[in-house]
Amino acid sequence: MKCPNCNMENEENAKFCTSCGSKLMNNQTQAETASTNEEPENQADGVKMPEMPDLTERKIDWGDSAETDNKTEAGMESGAEAEPVLEASEYEDEKKTETLEADTTAPMISAPVFTVPTEPEMPKKKKGKGIIIAAAVAVVVVGVAAAAFFGMQKKDPKAEVFDAFKSVYSSEEVKPAEEIFGFSDIFKNAQKSSTDYGLGLTLVKDNVLGLSGLEGAGFDMSEKNDLEKQVGSLNLGIIYGGVNFTNFKMYYDDTNFKASIPDLFDEVFVLNYADDLAGQIERSPYLGKYIAESGVDMDAFKNYIEYCQNLYTPDSTGPIDFAGLKERFDKENDSFKKLKDSIKVEKISEKKKFKVDGKEVTCRGFDMVVSKDNLIQFVDESCQFLLDDESLKQELIEYYSQVMNLSNQMYGSSIYGDLYDGETLVNEMWDAMDEGSTELIKILDDSMDDEVKVTVYLDKQGRMISLEAETGLTNEDDSHAVLGLKVEMNGGAYLTQNMTASFTLDVDGEKGEITFAKEGKYDKKDLTCDVDFGLDFDDELVEIAYSGSYNVEKGDYDLMLSGYDNGSEMFKMSVSGAIDDLEKGKGFRADADSIMISSGGMDLLELSGYYSIAPMEDEVEDLEGEPFDILAATESDWTNLIQSAYMKIFGLIGKLN
């Protein structure tokens, strides 16, 4: 018979639909109903004894619909027309059954609930095939959606590797030295705002160089640079025997250059280089004729001073605008993009373990292949861009023109041979660059292997941990050289705080190697750094070693730089002292209590000194003394000046004793 609910064919004697579980009781014939009354004696009141449920099969919880159906069937058989009175719990069960039967599109799946029946129950409905199919389809749809979602989140291997290269020197990483001192901000501010500088050096002890008579001698220099007012001053103190011997002072602004030696002269030497300098020299009664005879062109000197002043103003980019050059390269040249697009990147199944940030981590590997043709194309197009960049060329022409004009006009001849202007010099440089790039490309094309193979490993954060690269070159004599590069970064306070690198060259069995190793730590209390650079070729090993430590709380530091040839010390310089007056990002003073220089294990010299940099505190002061115009002064003025200084020289000599 057909199910009135799902129209599915069922057996003639079936009471429930095998597809959807709906009751087929209303479709039974009178004969079937009568036969039901002829059941064995163990069936009381026309009610069948319930079958034991299959406990191994997961059931569909339809509410207690079987119990409701049982009561309905019993009422039909007894011919009762009145609706039975329901208990509260039975009423709730009936409501649940009606709701679930009405909403067959979203049945609730749950584990079977077993209760002890107070009266015989009809068998519970079995799972329908339609529900099973619907559930299976739902699972498949969810699985496909999840796979699609997580697939979209997965990064392209090439993009992942290129991002890892950026992580090596990420701008987001704060180096310990920056965290403690703020060096980049200090020196950046010095280029844009007024600054005080200090530098001093004194000979403490000489052991073998014969300079013991100069022990205690040195200099102490302080400079003020007011960028806002375009004025500056410098005081150079000469130290002898541990005391200040004399001072040489200078001052400059946009009009005058001044100098004085107060211990020798009461006067201040003045040169006005802004107002008709050539005319002043021409009218000079004494010094002018010597300048004219020397062939020095003071106008050229003036132009050079003005050019230098303009180069180093706060808004200046310097002789060459490297930031502008990079911006033009990125905007107008796509050679690097084409090189990146041509690189093949594939993920490899092999994983490796590395020590990173003090613990062992498992890293994913990627193979990269750079073809020779694409690499040569990148070199060719990059060189051609530089040769075609007129802005760069004009900047160089202007710079060399100023330098060469000063040389030509001040000394009457050129130190550059037959070249008389910057344009000629730069044009020759451009021709040489063009020939050099062509030759380089030919060498690469003739000797380089077809591919450069690179293998990189990334940690879970996507950082570059290891890089290995290899390629080969074939020389004109058919000898083959294998070039290899290996870099491993072990992290710490930042990714490259601990790392090793090596570059190897193997020419038909003859090997050479350049090595680099760096170790350091930073725990907010102490900062250490040890670097070793080695050059090993033809059984000759040259090493340069650096070691440094700094205590944050005390400010004490120790530095060491040394060089070795096959294990023998060539030189060694060690510095110990303390950092004072530290203002992060603004300035500091580094006192070097001991600077020891030695060679071959023998101490040569011991020095002491300091360096300081800080925002300018006091105003730049003009020099005190009677102005002495060096161009307007007569021969008599110069004679009187020298005679007055002659008597003061003996006072200075007295200081030497």
In angstroms, the CA 94 to CA 91 distance is 5
44 plus 131 within the same structural domain? yes
420 band by pLDDT with thresholds 50, 70 and 90: low
pLDDT average, residue stretch 157-178: 87
51 plus 137 within the same structural domain? yes
137 plus 226 within the same structural domain? no
In angstroms, the CA 604 to CA 451 distance is 52
Contact 124, 115 (CB under 8 A): no
Picking from 76, 111, 142, the residue at the C-terminal end of a domain is 142
In angstroms, the CA 597 to CA 514 distance is 27
At residue 146, the pLDDT reads: 42
Whether the per-residue pLDDT at 553 is higher than 90: the answer is yes
Q: Is residue 450 part of a domain?
A: no
Query: Biggest alpha carbon distance in the chain?
Result: 156
Q: What is the pTM of this model?
A: 0.68
Whether the per-residue pLDDT at 424 is higher than 80: the answer is yes
pLDDT average, residue stretch 5-12: 74
61 plus 117 within the same structural domain? yes
In angstroms, the CA 419 to CA 426 distance is 10
At residue 312, the pLDDT reads: 66
Other CB atoms within 10 A of residue 370 CB? 19
Q: Is residue 107 part of a domain?
A: yes
Compare 431 and 170 and report the one with higher pLDDT.
Answer: 431
Q: Is residue 338 part of a domain?
A: no
Q: Is residue 260 part of a domain?
A: yes
Rounded to 10 degrees, what is the CA torsion of 620, 624, 630, 635? -170
Q: Percent of the chain scored above 70 by pLDDT?
A: 75
Per DSSP, the three-state class of 614 is strand
At residue 416, the pLDDT reads: 55
At residue 588, the pLDDT reads: 97
Number of domains the chain is built from: 2
Helix H or strand E encompassing 514: strand 510-522
46 plus 137 within the same structural domain? yes
Q: Is residue 197 part of a domain?
A: yes
At residue 651, the pLDDT reads: 76
Say how many Å lie between the first and final Cα of the chain, rounded. 134
Amino acid in position 161: V
Q: Is residue 473 part of a domain?
A: no
- Cβ burial 535-557 (10 Å sphere, 16+ → b, else e): ebeeeeeebebebbbbebeebeb
Which string of DSSP letters, residue by residue, matches 477-507? TS-EEEEEEEEEEEESSSTTSEEEEEEEEEE
With residues binned 3-state (H G I as helix, E B as strand, rest as coil), the percentages for the chain, rounded to 5, are 35, 35, 30
At residue 306, the pLDDT reads: 73
Range from 68-77, 321-330, 604-613 that averages highest in pLDDT: 604-613
Per DSSP, the three-state class of 72 is helix
pLDDT average, residue stretch 232-259: 93
291 band by pLDDT with thresholds 50, 70 and 90: confident
Helix H or strand E encompassing 244: strand 243-252
Q: Is residue 43 part of a domain?
A: yes
Helix H or strand E encompassing 231: strand 231-240
pLDDT tens digits, 359-412: 999 999 999 999 999 999 999 999 999 999 999 999 999 888 887 777 666 665
123 plus 211 within the same structural domain? no
44 plus 95 within the same structural domain? yes
Range from 70-74, 136-140, 238-242 that averages highest in pLDDT: 238-242
Contact 569, 545 (CB under 8 A): no
Cα–chain center distance at 532? 22
pLDDT tens digits, 199-220: 999 999 998 888 888 888 999 9
Whether the per-residue pLDDT at 527 is higher than 90: the answer is yes
pLDDT tens digits, 567-616: 899 999 999 999 999 999 999 999 999 999 999 889 999 999 999 999 99
Q: Is residue 50 part of a domain?
A: yes
254 plus 192 within the same structural domain? yes
Q: Which residues contact 594 (CB under 8 A, 6 or more apart)?
A: 204, 574, 575, 576, 577, 606, 607, 608
At residue 66, the pLDDT reads: 42
pLDDT average, residue stretch 286-309: 74
Picking from 142, 174, 197, the residue at the C-terminal end of a domain is 142
pLDDT tens digits, 79-134: 444 444 444 444 444 444 444 444 444 444 444 444 444 444 454 544 444 444 44
Residue 211's domain spans which residues?
A: 183-273+621-656
Whether the per-residue pLDDT at 69 is higher than 70: the answer is no
**Which of 189-193, 233-237, 431-435 bottoms out in mean pLDDT, i.e. has the lowest?**
189-193
241 plus 189 within the same structural domain? yes
Picking from 142, 161, 192, the residue at the C-terminal end of a domain is 142
276 band by pLDDT with thresholds 50, 70 and 90: confident
- Cβ burial 376-409 (10 Å sphere, 16+ → b, else e): bbbebebbebbeebeebbebbbbbbbbbbbbbbb
136 plus 45 within the same structural domain? yes
DSSP state of 623: P
What is the chain's length? 657
133 plus 198 within the same structural domain? no
Residue spans of alpha helices (H) in 168-311? 176-180, 183-192, 277-283, 287-294, 298-311
538 band by pLDDT with thresholds 50, 70 and 90: confident
The two tokens of residue 184 are 């980049």
Q: Please list the residues that pair with 594 across neighbouring strands.
A: 576
Place of tokens 């039909």: 76
156 band by pLDDT with thresholds 50, 70 and 90: confident
The C-alpha R_g of the chain, in whole angstroms, comes to 46
Pick the closest to residue 385 from 423, 422, 337, 344 (CA basis). 337
